[in-house]
Amino acid sequence: MPERPGSGGPAAGDGPVEGARHVVLVGLMGVGKTTVGRRLAKELARPFADVDEQVELRAGRVIPEIFRHDGEEAFRRTEAEVLAELVARPLPLVLAAGGGVVARPENRRTLAGRTTVVWLRASVGFLAGRVDPTHRPLLAQADDPAEALGRLLAEREPLYAEVADHVVDVEPFHAADDKPKRALARHIAALAVPTTPAAPTPARAPASAGGATGTPGAGSAAVVDAGVIG
């Protein structure tokens, strides 16, 4: 995957520098964007924000209720606003985006801005075993959630590929490591902010493995939530 110029940023040890790129995690539901994102923020000593969570705070309802009361379109509008506002922040963040963020062209344009986008990729079989359909309105009504996930993946794969600077296959990390989230976070930190000390990769190399070996990441600072916006 071609690198965008300047897609890296300053060393994690230098602390967040105004104007540096945000790291945005995209990928389908259940792939671990939020948990890996929190851990990644710790590795990079940056604030973390979860777009879904910010949408819920703004709407005053949880996502299934937003879909039920206001409809998907209203959810998507707020999601686009929240994403644009977070990306406009001067200090670099780690962001976990909702799985459907790539569906809107305006969000893809936002993601083409001051961001390094990492697509966390996994098979439908893997995702179906992890995702809880009751909290995912797009799966809750499906007779077969795995089939619905497969359809979403087929629709969105080209869109994730369009916005991504890096693709990371998560399954080898889960197969190889007893702390896969930590291993993924360290791997992504080294990819997305190349001056971060590199992390080991699983033996069965994921799609993005670009010689990331060596010592663990910076990771001592606490995760600071980016807070409520707007």
Contact between 111 and ligand S3P (CB under 6 A)? Answer: no
How far apart (Å, rounded) are the C-alpha atoms in residues 122 and 8?
Answer: 24
Q: Work out how close the CB of 84 gets to ligand S3P at its nearest, in angstroms, rounded to a whole number.
A: 16
Beta bridge partners of 224: 47
Closer Cβ to ligand S3P, 31 or 45, answer by number: 31
Q: Work out how close the CB of 101 gets to ligand S3P at its nearest, in angstroms, rounded to a whole number.
A: 7
Phi, psi for 165 (deg, rounded to 5): -90, -30
Q: Dihedral, CA atoms, 24, 27, 29, 33, nearest 10 degrees? A: -40
**Interface pick for ligand S3P out of 137, 200, 210, 216 (rule CB under 6 A):** 137
Residue owning tokens 């200090």: 91
**Interface pick for ligand S3P out of 63, 95, 199, 212 (rule CB under 6 A):** 63
Tell me if 192 sits within 8 A of 116, measured CB to CB.
yes
* DSSP symbols for 88-154: T-SS--EEE--TTGGGSHHHHHHHTSSEEEEEEE--HHHHHTT--GGG-HHHHT-SSHHHHHHHHHH
> Any residues with CB less than 8 A from the CB of 164 and at least 6 apart, and which?
1, 26, 117, 118, 119
Q: Work out how close the CB of 183 gets to ligand S3P at its nearest, in angstroms, rounded to a whole number.
A: 21
Contact between 206 and ligand S3P (CB under 6 A)? Answer: no
**Interface pick for ligand S3P out of 8, 37, 99, 180 (rule CB under 6 A):** 99
**Interface pick for ligand S3P out of 20, 45, 127, 138 (rule CB under 6 A):** 138
Closer Cβ to ligand S3P, 82 or 218, answer by number: 82
Q: Work out how close the CB of 212 gets to ligand S3P at its nearest, in angstroms, rounded to a whole number.
A: 25
Contact between 56 and ligand S3P (CB under 6 A)? Answer: no
List contacts with ligand S3P (CB under 6 A): 29, 33, 52, 63, 98-100, 136-138
